[in-house]
Structure 1
């Protein structure tokens, strides 16, 4: 029997990783110590990440060790930091957390219904697995698809090729990565937006994407993701088919869509 996959983004969708609050600040402190002065190494690393993304070098864009090495080389200092070690050090609650309650119970129910579950993330496995393990997520997934394993990153549809069978839906929090990926792959695209205005939150998840207010909200979101405030229209490629405001809505959505 062919597998029926539901795939999930991780960061901003299921969990909070330690990079922004803990890993990057520690990198900055170590580099400042080596230089003997303050230096905004994190902004330089993010700029290099964004440069690689703009060139569609999706795998290299999330190789934070290589990015740090390139910056250290430019500063003529030795790279003494292993980012994986920092991630493991900081992958403890409350430095990392699930973004809402009930997520693990939802996965249990999805498994009972016969779904295969996959993570499809742009984070390298060595950076994601310690966080997932700390939060009890790791053993729920049949596949963990990462750029260095797949040879591709979101939004390239090639990243889904590792999932043999039918991918029913992809759930994520970004239009440029997750929704674009799903739409390009002809997979049901599900946006999770936990801060929906009350008037949209009152609508059924299947109705939200058809509401003009949702389209305007997505346009503003896309502007932020692109860092371009002058965009005037959201391409259909970036428009989700379904919008949920919590994971607790997902099972009912799959039922309503005839997918459950």
Structure 2
């Protein structure tokens, strides 16, 4: 068959790194100066398009040194390996969908802007089956740069990328020349009534995409040189991965 690649946070799992780590960071985030410094350091690195934008351990060390903090930040890798993980961090349909796709013959890549040394621990502990991990500390670049997916070139072609962020996943897939599937888990009822194969052709799709893109860029930012011209254009829009399985069974991406 070929490769399918999936974003992690918001696509396969409910932001596990954020949910696991944030409670341990609350004493720091409660300090406005520290909170602001962490955000500014992240955005500074992101504006450069640097994989270091997602090295949260290094960001925390940099801020701690700059502000001369006396209380150390938690060791993130150790924390991720020891803290209790609830199975609900994976969305309910994900395990069955991934298993169904592998049974159809697809190879599964997890393509995340989180660093591999953090995300691999979470993936393995949550029991998600996958064949390859793509991450900034492995690819030396970040989504939406099309070279992020270059290691999947070859005989088993990369067919489809699936993700929840228009600004990273859909733009990136478009630039890489592969089908882009947008997972919109908060899809409103009127969109859900539209068959998945037809949603990307709805007359209001550009309005919805433009509004969602503005929200994403305010929250996540994006290096200016990585912003393509024009709106992201998903080839398909699904509410969950169960709908994706249905599309692929119909021959989409073959």
TM-score bin (small chain): 0.7 to 0.9
Mapped to 2, the partners of 1:40 and 1:212 lie a distance apart of: 45
Say whether the 8 Å CA contact 1:123–1:146 is kept in structure 2. Answer: yes
C-alpha separation in 1, matches of 2:135 and 2:64: 25
Identify the match of residue 175 of structure 2 among 165, 171, 184.
184
Aligned counterpart for 1:10 among listed residues 8, 11, 23:
8
Counterpart pick for 2:204 among 208, 213, 218: 213
Aligned pair count?
A: 243
SS in 2 for 1:161: helix
Where does residue 136 of structure 1 map in the other structure?
Answer: 127
Q: What is the SS of the residue equivalent to 1:243? A: strand
Task: Say if 1:28 and 1:42, in contact at 8 Å, map to a contact too.
Answer: no
TM-score (norm 2): 0.86
Q: Give the equivalent residue in structure 2 for 1:116.
A: 107
Does the Cα contact within 8 Å between 1:91 and 1:131 map onto a contact in 2? no
1-structure distance, mates of 2:234, 2:140: 25
**Offset of residue 39 of structure 1:** 4.7
State the shift of 1:38 in Å.
3.8
Work out whether residues 183 and 238 of structure 2, in 8 Å CA contact, stay in contact via their aligned partners in 1.
yes
Q: How does 1:55-204 map to 2 (within 5 A)?
A: 55-57=48-50, 59-77=51-69, 79=72, 81-93=74-86, 97-99=89-91, 101-137=92-128, 140-165=129-154, 166-204=157-195
Deviations 1:131-170 (A, max 9, x none): 2123211xx2110011001111111111101113311000
Q: What value does the CA root-mean-square deviation take over the aligned residues? A: 2.3
The 2-side partners of 1:38 and 1:259 are apart by 48
Change (3 A) 1:127 1:91: farther
**Unpaired segments of 5 or more residues in structure 1?**
229-233
Instruction: Tell me: CA distance 1:141–1:19, structure 2 relative to 1, closer, same or farther (3 Å).
Output: closer
User: Contact 2:179–2:253 at 8 Å: present in 1 too?
Assistant: no
What are the superposed Cα offsets for residues 175-222 of structure 1, whole Å, 9 maximum, x if unpaired? Answer: 111001100001100000012121111111121111122221211110
TM-score by length of 1: 0.85
Question: Match for residue 231 of structure 1?
Answer: none
Match of 1:224 in 2: 215
Q: 1:90 to 1:199 in 2, by over 3 A?
A: same
- SS of 2:110's partner is strand
Would the alpha carbon gap of residues 43 and 16 (structure 1) be closer, same or farther in structure 2, given more than 3 Å must change?
Answer: farther
SS at match of 1:61: helix
Q: Which runs of 5+ in 2 are unaligned?
A: 220-227
Question: SS of the residue aligned with 1:14?
Answer: coil
The match for 1:256 is 250
Instruction: Map Cα deviations across residues 47-70 of structure 1 (whole Å, 9 max, x no partner).
Output: 32122212222x111011111111
Q: C-alpha distance in 2, partners of 1:154/1:91?
A: 29
Partner of 2:235: 241
